[in-house]
Amino acid sequence: MLPGLRRAAPDLLFRYLSFGGYLQDVFCKSTLRFTSRPRLNDPCDCVVDFDYSKATVSDWRIYYRGVLDKQPSLTRESKRSILRQFLKRRRFLEEDFQSETQLEMQRAADSCAILSLSESGNNARLWKEYAGEGTGVCLVFNTFLLHQSFESSLTKGVPFRVSYIDTLPRLQVPVGRDHDHIERVFLTKTLQWAHEREWRLVLPEQIDEQVGFIDLEFDPKCLIGVFVGATATRENEARIRDWASQAPSPVWVQQVSLDELSPATDLIEGKARCRMSSSVQRIFNFSAGPAVLPLPVLEEAREHLVALPGVGMSILEISHRSKAFEEICYGAEANLRKLAGVPDGYHVLFLQGGATLQFAMLAMNLLPASRTADYIETGVWSEKAIADAKKLGSVHVAGSSKATNHDRIPLQSEIRYSAAPAYVHMTSNNTIFGTQWHHLPDVPVGVPLVNDASSDIFCRPVDISRYGMIYGGAQKNLSIAGLTLVIVREDLVGRAPAATPAYLNYATHAKERSLYNTPPAFGIYILHLVLKHLLAEGGLPAVEARNRRKAAKLYAAIDASGGYYRGHAQPESRSWMNVTFRLPAEELEKKFVAESTAAGLDGLKGHRSVGGIRASIYNAFPEAGVDALVTFMADFARANG
């Protein structure tokens, strides 16, 4: 990967087009037109023109093995032939080799499909140059979904930023290390084009040179909106609105006014739907929590922060006793029941204090003085839960992975329950050590299973009926810090001793439907939006598929590193949410964290209990971020191996 290209792509990217041509197909057929190199406006763009003056024989050997090996138009036999010729003569036939390899690379470049986009949502020059001087349109794309549509691209589906230099992009043969020159060819332009703020997707499609382009399908959800040029005719604007109404996924339409058509104005900020501004550069947040939220949720929250529709007040201001808030609170409960399939006979409670308060509240409600509670110890948070429960009653540790520094989930055969436990407590995912239960422990008949699911709640479909109670802080997969979710079976409510303070009694909150006192209103509101988003995206089966895919990519990179990266968790206990691994030395780990942070990959430093690196990839974490980390890991290992 090229220096300077690791920066995370903007959340939105834009494409300016004149009216007519294939524009209708963008809306109605969900196709985008990729062009070949000769069709680009800069005659020097994607031209292979190497400077060989400083190359040594050793450099050419590196060049052949590291660069030509990647060119799709060279057959295996032709590669071997070139290498045999080089080794046989023991000298470099500079002119012949230059001509042949440069021609081969140019052919490879010319056969690739290129999609050019801009990070500028309102660029007067782009309106003039590419959108018929304001008579055309500016299409608005969700970058993450665009990435998912074209994962087979040379850039792994991730748009890369074009770099601009003050000379022609004349490239030198590598000295000392292999660099991917094909990326330099596609992603380097002269300064005269810097105003375009261009990003590119490059696909290894074989474009017919007579046609010069190829139309490829994309996920309809990629296209979220369109700005119609300020000088577009009413007839053309009406056509755009008609096409947008036929699109498989909702697309907003807004015409730009003449006073908005200036480089100083950001159309996205002023738009009624308030989509995320292209000037906001979001990095990849690998934090263990609070964690990343779905972008559409952030956008909707920002749009309605000042005044909720039909209310005229912010969610930060309205009374929790108002009808408007009750609709939000009860709507969140209804959507949660629908998403998770919560059966009748369970209460859904929205509380405060985090999972940490539940360590004590659970024991206060479900651990009578005459009984014992069984806990399965699998990490720091289960240890804390045990410590608090011991202050309130009798606790038996039924199973533990502490002897191996919590690198695995205990086997069923290793768990020994007490005679008649009041409940069995587990922690389904361990953020610090990177382990996760992928099966439920068998518990004695009639004994409720209680799960602290803070860090993997709703990461996959869940059978609620197998639990007596599930609880968790919402700040990793569901909402923001400050909201705690409790799903508890009805027959377990009302067991608290009479001396239990009202707030710490589940019966209090069940009776008042989470509105006993002022609740975490904003957290419940964000939860409401997240749940709507998850349902619209296909529910928990879709969530599971994405999480499996993301985790598989990251663990594959660790396993394929030849031991350079070493996972902490044993393979059968690996977490989908928190991937923990070590490098050969602590100094390398410090360097890894520093360089990854500078590259826009934030929050990767591991917890002191394990050390090393921890990548938290919760539900809303984008797959593009995983791809970026995998690429960074490969680059770092090559440079520091």
Q: Which residues are catalytic?
A: 381, 452, 476
Q: Report the SS3 class of residue 34.
A: strand
If you count DSSP H runs as helices and E runs as strands, how many of each does the chain have, helices first? 18, 27
- Cβ-in-10-Å burial (0-12, 13-18, 19+) of 96 comes to exposed
Q: Report the SS3 class of residue 588.
A: helix
Residue 27 identity: F
466 DSSP 8-state letter: G
What is the CB-side half-sphere exposure of residue 513 using CA atoms within 13 A? 12
Rounded distance between C-alpha atoms, residue 156 and residue 153, angstroms: 5
Helical segments of 174-227, H only:
181-186
Task: Give me the sign of the Cα torsion angle 66, 67, 72, 78.
Answer: negative
Q: Which residues touch 61 (CB under 8 Å, ≥6 apart)?
A: 86
Residue 262 identity: S
CA quadruple 264, 266, 270, 275: dihedral, nearest 10: -170
Nearest Cα residue to 536 out of 147, 341, 249, 298 = 249
Please check whether residue 224 is in contact with residue 5, taking contact to mean a CB–CB distance below 8 angstroms.
no
Please check whether residue 117 is in contact with residue 199, taking contact to mean a CB–CB distance below 8 angstroms.
yes
| CB-CB neighbours of 35 under 10 Å | 18
How are beta strands 424-427 and 372-377 bridged, if at all? parallel
Structure tokens at 15: 């494409």
3-state helix, strand, coil in the chain (%, to 5): 40, 20, 45
Please check whether residue 394 is in contact with residue 372, taking contact to mean a CB–CB distance below 8 angstroms.
yes
What is the CB-side half-sphere exposure of residue 375 using CA atoms within 13 A? 25
Residue by residue, DSSP assigns 242-281 as HHHHHSSS--EEEEPPGGG-STT--HHHHSTT-PPPTT--
Rounded distance between C-alpha atoms, residue 144 and residue 279, angstroms: 16
Rounded distance between C-alpha atoms, residue 3 and residue 177, angstroms: 14
Rounded distance between C-alpha atoms, residue 203 and residue 112, angstroms: 6
